Amino acid sequence: MLKKISIVGAGLAFVLVALLGFRFTSNQPTTKRLPRQIPAGEAGGTTPGDRLIVSAQGVIDSQPARSKGYNLLAIAYMQKARETGDFALNAKAEEALARAAQAEPGSYDALKLRAKLLLTYHRFGEALEVGRRAQALNPRDHDVYGAMTDALVELGEYDKAVEAAQAMIDLRPDTASYSRVSYLRLLHGDVDGSIAAMRLAAQAASPSDPEKIAWCYVQLGDALMKAGKPAEAEREIDRALFSFPDYHAALAAKGRARQSAGDLGGAVEFYRRAVARVPLPDYSIALGDLYTKLGRTDEAKRQYDLVQFVESAGASAGTYTRELALFWADHDVRLDEALAVAARERAARGDIYTSDVLAWCLFKKGRLEEAKAAVTEALRLGTRDSRLFYHAGMIYNSLGDRRQGAKYLKMALAADPSFPVLQADAARHTLSALKV
């Protein structure tokens, strides 16, 4: 568990953090103009991202030899990418940062933004290295610690991630820092602490950024699901959809909520809308599994085919390899390839979810002792996660430890009412056969 640190001379926000039990407390340049390229049908600034793009272009027009406008344009494209899930916009952000570096070599802001951009490409080691270079230039900028925290989490260096998040919130307690507190709390099994921190994150979000507000409510809903409060979770997800209508992440979260309530038809409709907005693998997998559960096999196949297409084509190619390995293992297809992919991912990043995927792929290949070692790594933080518990239960049961297997399967079914539908069915079936 995370430990508390005493507060000395802290402001009210830090006192709130401590009272809620968090670990985190205080102690010749180019002049070429980039095209606007606002998506068709959204010209005129229909979202904050659109308005930022227009504003950044204005700065470039007035100061073409400075890096500021290009940095602002990179921020705008990354914002728009978050709003829409359009990964091609991150490539435009990368181009803008290259222009910023041409205009003013050594630009601190461009360096910091590059660390953030590398995270979107899942190049976590590079993101951490760039973030540390930026931190050395400006250690009082809380924002750079966010990129470092994210990279360290994905690399599985959790103690260092906690230190970076501590530094971040000491410098400025805001939506960005509170949300990282929340996620680290969730990873360490402190669901109530995670919920409290995400509420602070949502309250601190600017009303001018509805996407960020909606994101906070989606994360809050996820934590509430893990706390066994599905009705409360769904209310927060509805707030996300009110704040930013048709937000793809909120539509998918609403699908999870409807599934947890037993409304599979409603779940299908919300997942279908999410996939239509952004065909992320997680959304297509969930929708395909629902179709499978409902006996709609042709529609399920179309979603499963889409998973593999999205991972291998377009701007997001290579970003979701871990998810693809898990998908193959869950559906008992291409198991050798799934294991090879999971092993490569685990060699590059040591986080608990990569260990879990490796464990599951090893299990599906019958390498049970190796699977047990990997799932032990996945469980090391005490994370409350149905998928982790389900995989542990199935692995222990196959090793002959029926009692331990039953314990984890019960935990899987109790931990999150939105547990993926096919895995939940398999957990119930196995548990029934165990009679423990």
68 & 153 share domain: yes
Q: Please indicate, yes or no, whether residues 239 and 301 belong to a single structural domain of this protein.
A: no
More confident residue, 310 or 123: 123
Domain count, the chain: 3
Residue where one domain finishes, among candidates 158, 173, 188:
173
- Residues 158 and 123 placed together within one structural domain of the fold: yes
User: Which pLDDT value is given to residue 88?
Assistant: 85
Res. 15: pLDDT tops 70: no
- Whose tokens are 């029926």? That residue is 402
**Whether 164 and 259 share a structural domain:** no
Examine the domain organization and report whether 257 and 373 are in the same domain. Answer: no
Same structural domain, 259 and 375: no
Helix or strand run (H / E) with residue 37: none
- Tell me how crowded residue 252 is: count the other CB atoms within 10 A of its CB: 25
Q: Please tell me the least confidently modeled range out of 74-88, 260-274, 352-366.
A: 74-88
Confirm whether 113 is domain-assigned.
yes
Q: What is the DSSP letter of 63?
A: -
Give a yes or no: residue 356 inside a domain: yes
Whether 19 has a pLDDT exceeding 90, the answer reads no
Can you tell me the mean pLDDT for 274-300?
Answer: 96
pLDDT in tens, 181-206: 999 999 999 999 999 999 999 999 99
Please give the distance of CA 337 from its chain centroid, rounded to a whole number: 24
| pLDDT at residue 309 in the model | 79
Residue 322 lies in a domain: yes
Is 414 a member of any domain? Answer: yes
Q: What's the CA gap between 98 and 88, in Å, rounded?
A: 16
CA distances from 351 to 137, 156, 191, 387, 401 (A): 28, 4, 19, 15, 26
Query: What are the Cα distances from residue 209, in Å, to 203, 212, 322?
Result: 12, 6, 31
Residue 13, domain member (yes or no): no
Kindly state whether residue 324 falls inside one of the protein's structural domains. yes
Is residue 117 situated within a structural domain?
A: yes
| Domain final residue pick, 173, 203, 231 | 173
> Is residue 277 pLDDT above 50, yes or no?
yes
If asked whether residues 331 and 412 sit together in one domain, one would say yes
φ/ψ bin of 287: left (φ > 0), alpha (ψ from -120 to 50), beta (otherwise):
alpha
In the chain, pLDDT over 70 holds for what percent of residues?
87
Q: Is residue 35 a part of any domain in this protein?
A: no
Is 400 found in the same domain as 366? yes
Predicted pLDDT of residue 312: 61
Output the average pLDDT for the chain: 88
Contact 107, 67 (CB under 8 A): yes
| Structural domain boundaries, residue 299 | 290-434
Q: What is the CATH classification number for the domain harbouring 360?
A: 1.25.40.10
Q: Which residues contact 400 (CB under 8 A, 6 or more apart)?
A: none
Q: Tokens in use for 333?
A: 């297809």
Whether residues 258 and 301 fall in one domain = no
Do 312 and 411 belong together in one domain?
Answer: yes
What is the Rg, in whole angstroms, of the alpha carbon atoms belonging to the chain? 22
Q: Does residue 200 share a domain with residue 169? A: no
Residue 391 is predicted with a pLDDT of 98
- What is this structure's pTM? 0.86
**What pLDDT is attached to residue 35?**
32
Compute the half-sphere exposure of residue 211: CA atoms within 13 Å on the CB side of its CA.
17
Is the pLDDT reported for residue 141 higher than 80?
A: yes
Q: Which of 173, 188, 210 is the last residue of a domain?
A: 173
Question: 435 pLDDT band (50/70/90 cuts)?
Answer: confident
Residues 256 and 342 in one domain: no
Alpha carbons 402 and 410: distance in angstroms, whole number: 12
Band of pLDDT at residue 308, cut at 50, 70 and 90: confident
- Is a pLDDT exceeding 50 seen at residue 7? no
